Amino acid sequence: MGRWAWLTAFFIVPALAQPSPERLQLCATCHGAGGNSAIPGTPSLAGQPAIFVENQLVLLREGVREVPQMAAAMQGLKDAEIRAIARYYAAQKPAAPPGKADPVLMKQGAALVRRLHCGSCHEADFRGREQMPRLAAQREEYLVYAMNGYRNYTRKGGDTLMAAALYGITDADVRALAHYLAHFR
């Protein structure tokens, strides 16, 4: 083995160019074609930052984040497959949210994202970055579920910064934030 070959052999793992069609079909069963979920409570993956998706899949695979519906899909999932899946969904375009935006909730949500400085981590257009998820165009009810999980300390494998950011936020505020972010374009 050459001088640096051991480094490549042990630390640089080749990535799959694309996830297998079978794996994408399995993901699409719940997360929708191209990662745009049509199932209430199931997050859309389209446009999520690749590092965020990678992190979440590892947390799910290792059982740190418990989502019973994902357990079977995570069995035997290799790191290279995780990277391929993450890159695939990061490259997909998020769909427009269903329904019309409520002007009152949009105004309340806009004030809340400014007050809570959501854009400082999730970017000003809420597209997410690195390990911070995309919030714009995410399913509204999923955003409510996720924010409540952080706020109420019920989300295992969750981010303590999010728990702190949502501390003291009312249910009405969570609904306004979720509505605003889901309809943000």
Of the candidates 120, 138, 129, 176, the one whose C-alpha atom is nearest the C-alpha of residue 44 is 138
In this structure, are residues 146 and 177 in contact, taking their beta carbons and an 8 Å threshold?
A: no
The pLDDT of 7-22, averaged and rounded, is 62
In this structure, are residues 71 and 39 in contact, taking their beta carbons and an 8 Å threshold?
A: no
pLDDT of residue 156: 76
pLDDT of residue 123: 97
**pLDDT tens track for 88-147:** 999 999 999 888 999 999 999 999 999 999 999 999 999 999 999 999 999 999 999 999
If pLDDT is split at 50, 70 and 90, which confidence band does 39 have?
Answer: very high
Euclidean distance between CA atoms 144 and 131, whole angstroms: 20
If pLDDT is split at 50, 70 and 90, which confidence band does 15 have?
Answer: low
| CA dihedral (14, 17, 18, 22) positive or negative | negative
Beta bridge partners of 129: 132
